[in-house]
Amino acid sequence: MMIRIERDELGAVEVPAYAYYGIQTLRAAEVYPTAGTPVHQAFIAAMANVKIAAAKANLEIGALPQRIGNLIVQAAEEILRGKHSKHFIADCSQTASGDILNTNMNEVLANRVLEFLLEDKGNYGVVNPELHANLGQTSNGVMSASLQIAAYRLTQDLIKSLQELITELLYKKEPLDQLQTPEISMYHTGAPLWLSRQFEDYGECIQSDMTRLDKAVSQMNITCLNSAAMGRQPDHHSGFNERATSHLQELTQIELFPSKSGEPSYHVVVELSSALKGLAVNLSKLCSDIRLGASLEQIDIHPANGIVHEKAVSLSQSAFQVMGLDHSISLAAEIGMPDRNAIPPIIIYNVMESLSLLINGVQSFTLGARGSSNSSSPVFR
């Protein structure tokens, strides 16, 4: 394998010649243990949006050379399109802060810009990850803003999936209601009419969960990308945070507001996680009732077929995982960090994982139920 040599104050490191990541990312990957918590693609895309917004703001205030700034935007837009994913080798749990994740992004951007300029990767005298890709930003600010964007978008995807689930539950409820006859009018547990009532009740519960989710994620709308905005140092480029937030809002179509106080973000993250747990509890109960109905025979009527039973098992397992992830988030938020404005990467990972698990689980379940519509079961015909 061909290599290049990069150097810092600690010495020289061999970096794969093809790699867009650099010496700092590689050092961290070698020094810190990997916990198997990779960075979600949605979060990488959100970070790329933050870098685009920051570069545009720095260009407007004259803090970034025009050509380099434009190429940083171009490189970040490639990442938005899903390119260069294999070069993000940082693990969410490698450190207690987001420094490594932010550094990984900065090095990928810098080395891609160097490639655009026909310069050698690692030639940071021309394009520097910290001085150019990270200009005016802090790791805490980048991590927080990226979480806001990624969580908002995934939450909207989840809400859309839940709306489809509710529609499917109401659709499946109709044939159950039609089963009521003088011989079949029982509402006892497991009976078709009991399951019909459960579908209606769970539809209402899930609708409430959607409202709570939307409210929780809408509170994650304060951005603070630089130290100056938090009053830690003089703002040599007045207006950077406001300009970057404006660009970020335009890029993402999410309502965002610049912060000058640097207030902690724990409470809004914990509230979103709590809302996800509440949804997970209701989904697990729904799945339990479907499995119960599928295990009983009511005068040769099976309230659910095998496909939906299996999908219910899978969704309930995902729901249990989300409940456990919420417990970890609550503990991590309670313990906190020395820097009250930082969000521990494990919280970022758990929120992203919870959203992904629920989106995939709900979509799979809904498609499974819909795909069973040709079944001889009265519920899913």
Report d(CA 102, CA 110) in Å as an integer: 12
- Indicate the burial class of 64 (C-beta count within 10 angstroms; 0-12, 13-18, 19 or more): buried
Question: Whole-model pTM above 0.95?
Answer: no
Report d(CA 332, CA 37) in Å as an integer: 16
Question: Are the C-beta atoms of residues 276 and 323 closer than 8 Å to each other?
Answer: no
- Of 112, 154, 144, nearest to 264 by C-alpha is 144
Give residue for tokens 């520097």.
Answer: 128
Report d(CA 93, CA 11) in Å as an integer: 25
Report d(CA 343, CA 373) in Å as an integer: 45
Report d(CA 325, CA 319) in Å as an integer: 10
pLDDT tens string for the chain (381 positions)?
Answer: 899 999 999 999 999 999 999 999 999 888 776 667 788 999 999 999 999 999 999 999 999 999 999 999 999 999 999 999 999 998 877 665 678 899 999 999 999 999 999 999 999 999 999 999 999 999 989 999 999 999 999 999 999 999 999 999 888 877 766 666 555 555 566 667 777 888 889 999 999 999 999 999 998 888 888 755 444 444 445 789 999 999 999 999 999 988 765 554 678 899 999 999 999 999 999 999 888 876 664 433 344 455 667 888 999 999 999 999 999 998 887 876 656 667 888 888 999 999 999 999 999 999 877 765 544 444 443
Which parts of 65-216 are beta strand (E)?
none
Tokens of 149: 């964007």
Report d(CA 101, CA 91) in Å as an integer: 8
